[in-house]
Each structure stands twice: as structure tokens, then as C-alpha cells.
Amino acid sequence: MSKTKKIVLGVFAFYALVFVALILIYGITQHKNSEFQIQNEFKLVNWVSLGVLSINRAVVYLILATILTIGTMFWISRRMQARPNRVQTAVEVIYSLMRDNISRGNMPDSMAAKWFPFLGTLFLFIWYCNLIGYLPLPTNSEEKFTLFGAHIPAFALYAATANISVPLVLALVVFVAFNWVGVRAQGPLGYLKSLVPSGVGGVGAFVLGILEGVSTLMRLLSLTIRLWANIFSGHIIILFMTGGLAVILGLQALGWFALPAGIIIYLFELGLVATLQAFIFATLAAIYIGGAASHH
């Protein structure tokens, strides 16, 4: 038997053993859960009261993401060398992705030079927001644990982008940006006219104009919901699979049973979704802005 096979079998045996043990200890009994509400994991509790600008969990995550975005990028930009180390190589790959794929791929070079800071920041900001969402941080102020007498918020996974306000405001910025570009490039009337495909007149033009107008508005919603729903659903599934379900249903063994799925989804979210959603958001923003300037 090969070593890998032994390890796999060992892990599987351990998993099965614990599962059986949990059933034997607790039985397949259900007790009613009344206090745990899964949506409360995403509730914003004001920690520092500053009126409308009160600092809550999402704000802390945003600040953290901002500090990390600026900090890491700034730190690396001061240490750019002719012979890059691994970190620099990675940053260069990301930079090339932002500059060549996201920006230059979707708009003329002159425009890309102008819009790159916006699109690059958009990508990095969302990316960092998504990524730190997979770090367990002591931010769940609803559940606390006591360590050496101090009440510390429970460690939790949370992401600013799992809150609809964050994607919404970023999508709004993109929405304003591409409409502004369109109006500037073609004039207010020209931009409105450009919504109607050329060669269509009369009632058809009116109907198509309304449809295109709605579809332009839908960009705002689709940008918002795509990012928010992906991150939110990812977090909720991880939450369910790594204990949430067991707590809600009051089935201890189920928590253990679902744990592997939780781990797999966690890795999937961290490795793919976090990056992919940031990339898609920034790329779509570039497509909308580039498209508004050079309309059909």
C-alpha cells in the first residue's frame, strides 16, 4: 500500500470513527434551536457610534481591506527590483492582468491609461475585501467567548462584499463613470441616441430605446448582485456546512458529516470565487466604460 493511500484511508477512517462516536454519544436526537439565527451572522452592529458614519463590522473589514490594499501595494512598489523575487513576480502578474487584460483589453490605449488607476483599484479593493472575508477574525460581537477574563468577539468569517451596500456603491460609481464617459464622448443627446441601434426608426426606436435604457440600468443591478450574491452565498454555505446546519437542526453528528463539504467550498471560494468576482467586476466596468466611449 502506498503512503498516500495509507494517509487517505487513515483520514477517512478517523472521519467515520468520529461520526459514529458522535452518534453514539448524542444519538440522532433533535433539540429545538431558537436562539441561533443564521442571518444574524451578517448583521451590522454599531461598535462606535458616529451617527450615519457609525463604525460597524463591515466598516472595519473595509478599513482593513483598504489598509492591506494600500499597504501591500505601496510596500511592494517601493521594492521593485530588476530581478524580481516571487512576491514581486506575483504582483507584476496581477498588475499586468489589470493593465493588459482588464484595461487595455476593453478600451483604447489612451483611455486605458486614464482609467487604469480606477479599474486597478476597483479590482484590488474588491479582491482584498473578498480575500480577507475568508480569514477568521474575532469580529462576531453577537457571540463572545471569554479568554483570561476578557470577552472577545467570536472568530467569524465575514466579508464587506457580502453586504449589499458595498457592491452597490461600487457599481454606482461604475454606472456614473460609464454614463459620464458616454455623455462626454457623444453629448447628452448623442448618448441617448446611441442607445437605439442605428437604422431603427419610429415606434421601434422608442421601444428599443426604453429596452436599452432599462438594460443600462440593469447593469447597475447585475454588477451589484453578482458580486454580493456570490460572496454572500459562499459565506452562507460555508457557515451551513461547518456547523450552522448542525446548530439550526440541533444535530451534532450532522456538523461533523458536513464538515468536508464546508472545507472544500471554503477552498473553492478562497481560491477561485474571491478572485474571479473581483476580476469580473473590474472587467465589466472596463467593458461598460470602453463601450460608452465608442458606441455602435
Residues contacting residue 190 through CB under 8 Å, at least 6 positions apart: none
Residue with cell 499586468: 96
- Here the cell at position 281 is 467586476
Closest approach, Cβ 153 to another protein, in A, equals 11
Q: Does 252 bind another protein (CB under 8 A)?
A: no
Three-state secondary-structure class, residue 45: coil
Closest approach, Cβ 226 to another protein, in A, equals 14
Backbone angles phi, psi at 193, to 5 degrees: -65, -35
Q: Roughly how many angstroms between the first and final C-alpha of the chain, as a whole number?
A: 65
DSSP class of residue 107? S
Candidates 61-69, 198-206, 257-265, 275-283 — which segment interacts with another protein by CB under 8 A? 61-69
DSSP class of residue 152? E
Q: Does 189 bind another protein (CB under 8 A)?
A: no
Q: Does 166 bind another protein (CB under 8 A)?
A: yes
What is the spatial distance between Cα 187 and Cα 180, in angstroms, rounded to a whole number? 10
Q: Does 212 bind another protein (CB under 8 A)?
A: no
Q: Does 31 bind another protein (CB under 8 A)?
A: no
Nearest 10 degrees: Cα torsion 8, 14, 20, 22: -130
The vertex-123 CA angle with 81 and 176, nearest 5°, equals 135
Our CB check for another protein shows the closer of 119 and 241 to be 119
Q: Does 80 bind another protein (CB under 8 A)?
A: yes
Out of 12, 14, 26, 145, point to the residue binding another protein (CB under 8 A): 145
Q: Does 221 bind another protein (CB under 8 A)?
A: no
Closest approach, Cβ 88 to another protein, in A, equals 9
List of residues contacting another protein (CB under 8 A): 34-37, 39-40, 42-44, 51-54, 56, 58-59, 62-63, 65-66, 69-70, 73-74, 76-78, 80-82, 91-92, 95-96, 99, 116-118, 120-122, 124-125, 142-147, 152, 154, 160, 163-166, 168-170, 173, 232
